[in-house]
Amino acid sequence: MKYSTQLLGISNAIVDILTHVEPEFIADMGATVGAMNLIDEQRAETIYRSMGPATEMSGGSVANTVAGFANLGGDAAYIGHVHDDQLGKIFNHDMRSLGVDIRLQPASTGAPTARSFILITPDAQRTMNTYLGSCTELAVADITDKTVGIPKVILLEGYVWDIPEGPALARKTMEMAAEIGATVALSLSDAFCVERHHASFMDAVVNGAYIVIADENEINALMQTENFDESIAKLHAFDNMFVMTRSAEGSVIAQGETRIVQAAMPVEKLVDTTGAGDAYSAGFLYGWANDWQLEECARLGTHCATRVIQQLGARIEPGLIESYKQIDAG
C-alpha cells in the first residue's frame, strides 16, 4: 500500500494567546480551572480586556500534534478552518514553515480565526478559554478525496464534535478511512468534552478509531470509571490501541493483552504544561507511522512532552528529532 502522506490532522485551527494570571483571575472569569472552556465573542472580549500582556502562538490540540510530527521530520497534512485575517495567516505560516501541507484555503467570509486565551497560573497549570470563530465553519463538504488524499494515519480530536458539522464530518472521515485503508486516531481532547459527547465518542471508538489517545481523566470519562485501574481493566473488551498519558506517572500503551509502561523523564524546570499531551502524540505517532516498536514510540512521545513543558507554549522549536537522538545516544 502506498500512502500519499504519513499523517493527516483534522481539527480546530486556533491561535493561542498566552498570559500569566493569578488563580483569582480565573475564578473571577467563572472559568473551570485546568479545562478548555468554550466562550462566545463577547466573553472573549471581556477576558482579553481584563487580562495582562500576552504572547501569541499557533495552537489547537491536533494542530500542535501535526506540527510536532512535521518538526520530527514526518510527512504531514492538515485540514482546519481559518479566516483570511492576520491570525489565520499566522496559523498557516507556522504549519507550512514546518512542511505541513495545508489542505483548505482561508475563508474570505464568516467569523474571524479562532483564538484561545490560555491563562497560566503560578503552578504551571493552564486554563483555556476558546472562542471557536472560523472553526465552526468547517463542514462535511470540506472532507473530500482531494483534501484527504491517502494518509497512513488520520488524527481527529474530540473538540471537533463541538462544532456544528463536527460529528457528521468525523463520521464521513472514518468511512473514507475504512475505504482507503487509513488508520484513524482519536484524541479525546478533555474529560468534559468526553462527557459532552460520550455516546458518539464510544461509537467512534468501536466503529472507526483504532488508536485512542487520552489522558487519565479522559479515559476514565470514556470508560465511566472512578480511577485509572478500573479503566485499564475495562479496556480488555476493546480491540483498539489505547495511548494514555499520566503526567508525572508516565504513560501506558494498552492493546489487547499488551501493556507498555513508559516512565516520565526528568524535568529541570516546569514552565507551562500547555501542549504536553499533543507533543506526546506527535512523538508516539511519528514512531508508529514509521513502524517503530511500541516501546520506542512511547519513549519518543515522552521526550517530546518533556521538552514542551519546559518552555512557554504548545509547540516546540524545530530540531526535535536531533534532540531525541542526543538523549538516545547519551
Is residue 56 a contact residue for its own copies (CB under 8 A)? yes
Is residue 124 a contact residue for its own copies (CB under 8 A)? no
Is residue 109 a contact residue for its own copies (CB under 8 A)? no
Q: How far is the CB of 178 from its own copies (least distance, A)?
A: 34
Is residue 97 a contact residue for its own copies (CB under 8 A)? yes
Question: Taking CB under 8 A as the criterion, which residues in 18-37 touch its own copies?
Answer: 20
Provide the 3-class DSSP secondary structure of residue 156: strand
Q: How many whole angstroms separate alpha carbon 91 and alpha carbon 94?
A: 5
Is residue 94 a contact residue for its own copies (CB under 8 A)? yes
Provide the 3-class DSSP secondary structure of residue 307: helix
Among 93, 198, 259, 325, binds its own copies (CB under 8 A): 93
Q: How far is the CB of 310 from its own copies (least distance, A)?
A: 12
CB 240 within 8 A of CB 205: yes
Q: How many whole angstroms separate alpha carbon 214 and alpha carbon 222?
A: 9
CB 289 within 8 A of CB 300: no
Is residue 301 a contact residue for its own copies (CB under 8 A)? no
Count the residues of the shown chain that bind its own copies, applying the rule CB under 8 A.
26
Determine the interface stretch with its own copies among 55-63, 73-81, 173-181, 246-254 (rule: CB under 8 A): 55-63
* DSSP-derived pairing of the beta strands 258-262 and 251-255: antiparallel
Would you say 49 or 236 has its CB closer to its own copies?
49
194 φ, ψ to 5°?
Answer: -60, -40
Q: How far is CA 125 from CA 13, 14, 84, 226, in A?
A: 22, 19, 32, 22
Interacting residues toward its own copies by CB under 8 A: 20, 48-49, 51-58, 67, 85-87, 90, 93-94, 97-98, 112, 312-313, 315, 317-318
